Chain A
Amino acid sequence: MTGPERGGISGPAVGIGWRPEIVGYVAGLPGLRFTEVVAESVHLTHPPQMLLDLVERGVRVVPHGVKLSLGGADPVDDDRAAHLFRCAELLRSPLVSEHLAFVRAGGVEAGHLLPVPRTREAVDAVVANVRRTQAALGGVTLALEPIAALFDWPDPELTEAQFLTEILDRTGCSLLLDVANVYANARNRGLRDGDLLDGLPLERIAYVHVAGGAEHDGFYHDTHTDATPPEVFDLVKELCARARPPALMLERDGHYPPAAELTRELDALCAAAGVSRITA
């Protein structure tokens, strides 16, 4: 991201996730300044030409890891961390991101992002894994994304904000804040939307995910395959009022709608962030 040295950029950069199914749409956005690619999908010896074209065009492409398992009890796999670094190198990105979650334990793949128990012991384990990853990243900034959780482990010793702040403080990582998660967590726990922003280290945000979800059986699921509800855009507005993030990204991972609908969502996101449209 443009980071602290926002160099002449008037407001947050707005983008949409680079996903194979819609790369033609993403490439056609005239005002695109940044996007994010799932790091595990990038083949280093045969990277997609369309992705390199974007880098050439000056679009910042952030590798986004999903399988590092930073929250696992086992040490992170050095090969996966190295892949993240090589992606950053290839795409000339000063930033990569990963989830604050675990996806495997004892060699078994969960196929899902699972929440880490909010205990001091877990903080130590995460910090060790993050440091190991940082060593492999050779100076590339790592942004951590807390995940949406439908359940909590029993007896947390720390609040979510404390847990996150402690990890960020001890590792120097940036924050990738998923506003849709914040909304989902607030709603599923019956809190006011803004409450969960309180106490979060908003000044450390590298960029923000914005996505849609759907309600099933009284629970709001952060699906990334539905349209973004207006409440999430309201939360974006509130966030921008408190601390303007350097960049915001629409994260759509499936059930891709017609281009016109994506454009409407991106326009709505730009409006919520108070920047000019990137679609025209």
Chain B
Amino acid sequence: MAGPGDTWGIAGPDFLWLYAGLAGLAIVTAFVWRRTYLRGPSLRKAKDLTPTQAALLNGDRRLAVYSSLAALRAGGAVSSDQRGTLKQSGGLPAGAGELDRAVLDTARRTLKVKNVLKDRGVVDVLERTEEQLTLAGWLLDADRRRGVKMAAIIVFAAVAIGVARLVAGIMNGRPVGFLVLMVIPVVIIAFLFLRVPRVSSNGRRLLTRMRMATQHLSPRQSPSWSTYGPEAAALSIGLFGAAAFFAADPAFAAEAELQRHVATSGGGFSDGGSSSWSGGSDSGSSSSSCSSGSSCGGGSSCGGGGGGCGG
């Protein structure tokens, strides 16, 4: 109960309990808020992505170009020599996409994969595809990104209250050790909430769904590109990352100096979060693991025993 000299008229241990509840509530609210902005379009109605779209969602522009190269390789349209110089060795494969056309065109002129990535024509197609993905909601647009970040404000408010109490407690000459221990994880969580993934949660789920449906294209199977054809080869790269290229066509992948670790999902199709950005995208789960820290049980129960340790 409140006694004379208590900061703000609330006893230290009481405040610790109160603060734990408040911070917990703020984190849960922020989490739910964040999730609504992260969700993305309905999966049920979603159609499967094209290989280029899958590559952009799963990885980056480089992976999209690799997936087109896979289609061109499977269709016998490009080859390379030992110095990694690209050569056109056949016509555009049947069913080739817009990016395949642009990549073949560029490869013929610029001769190196790394130059293909810089070509205006290729970049145009990639930008347009990214816009489509954003419009559809698989990639997060500026509004949604802002919405996701706004969630952090709630947690920062809880931080502010904690800090205010700390200052008041110190000015009041009270011990604040346990409160400090409790505020620190809340600060960390608040900063984690500032991280915004590129891809919506349902975008990641769509990739997982597509991987499940195309297990035969996983690099684990060393899928035969000649049997499955160019589009499947491109999809294999888009969904499973550049490592699939090395599994199916190691000589070309090495000669053309492809980077093996673009969006490599550890060879497994079971894990959804597969690429370089997954650290950011998974802040949902990282915040939940932190929230075990936020119930900072340690601190609050000590508060009870310690007496007047909460500022």
The 8 Å CB contact of B221, one of A20, A258, A259, is: A20
A259 to B216: give the CA distance in the assembly, Å: 14
Q: Given A20-B221, A24-B216, A27-B216 in contact, is the A256-B232 Cβ separation under 8 Å?
A: no
| Shortest Cβ distance from residue A18 to the other chain B in the assembled complex, whole angstroms | 11
CA distance A20 to B215 in the complex (A): 10
For residue B220, which residues in chain A have a CB less than 8 angstroms away from its CB?
20
B223 within 8 Å of A by Cβ?
yes
Cβ of B129 within 8 Å of any chain A Cβ, yes or no, is no
Q: How far is the CA of A259 from the CA of B224 in the complex (A)?
A: 10
**Distance (whole angstroms) from the CB of B228 to the closest CB of chain A:** 6
Chain B residues near A48: list those with CB within 8 A. Answer: 215
Rounded to whole angstroms, the CA-CA distance of A23 and B226 in the bound complex is 13
How far is B263's CA from A260's CA once the two chains are assembled, in angstroms? 31
Contacts of B171-220 to chain A: CB distance below 8 A: 214-217, 220
B50 in the interface, Cβ–Cβ < 8 Å? Answer: no
A45 CB-CB contact with B under 8 Å: no
B215 in contact with A256 (CB, 8 Å): no
Asked if B227 lies at the interface with its beta carbon under 8 angstroms from chain A, I say yes
Query: How near does chain A come to B165, taking the closest CB pair, in angstroms?
Result: 53
Q: Is the CB of B226 within 8 A of A24?
A: no
Known contacts A20-B221, A21-B223; is-contact A259 B228 (Cβ 8 Å): yes
Alpha-carbon gap, A84 to B226, bound state (A): 31
The answer to whether A24 and B229 touch across the interface, beta carbons within 8 angstroms, is no
Most A-side CB within 10 Å, residue of B214, B220, B223: B223
How many A residues are at the interface, by size bracket? 10 to 19
* B285 contacts the other chain (CB 8 A): no
Proximity bits, A1-44, B CB within 8 Å = 1, else 0: 00000000000000000001111110100000000000000000
What distance in Å separates the Cβ of B1 from its nearest Cβ neighbour in chain A?
60
Residue in A50, A257, A262 whose CB lies within 8 Å of B216: A50
B220 to chain A, nearest CB (A): 8
Question: Looking at chain B's contact residues, is the secondary structure mostly helix, strand, loop, or mixed?
Answer: helix
B228 touches A25 (CB 8 A): yes
Beta-carbon contact of A256 and B227 below 8 Å: yes
Q: Considering the chains assembled together, what is the distance between the CA atoms of A22 and B228 in angstroms?
A: 8
Indicate which residue in B214, B215, B222, B229 contacts A21 across the interface (CB closer than 8 Å). Answer: B222
Q: Decide if B226 touches A257 in the complex (CB within 8 Å).
A: yes
* Closest partner residue, chain B, to A259 (CB atom): B227
Q: Are A262 and B215 in contact (CB under 8 A)?
A: no
Please, which residue of chain A has its CB at the minimum distance from the CB of B217? A24
Tell me, rounded to whole Å, the shortest Cβ–Cβ distance linking B90 to chain A.
14
Q: Which residues of A contact B229 (CB under 8 A)?
A: 258-259
Give B223's nearest chain A residue, CB to CB: A21
Contacts of B221 in A (CB 8 A): 20-21, 23
In the bound complex, how far is the Cα of B228 from the Cα of A262, in angstroms? 11
A251-271 interface code vs B (CB 8 A; 1 in, 0 out): 000001111001000000000
The 8 closest A-B pairs by CB, nearest first: A24-B216, A256-B224, A21-B224, A20-B221, A256-B227, A23-B216, A22-B227, A259-B227
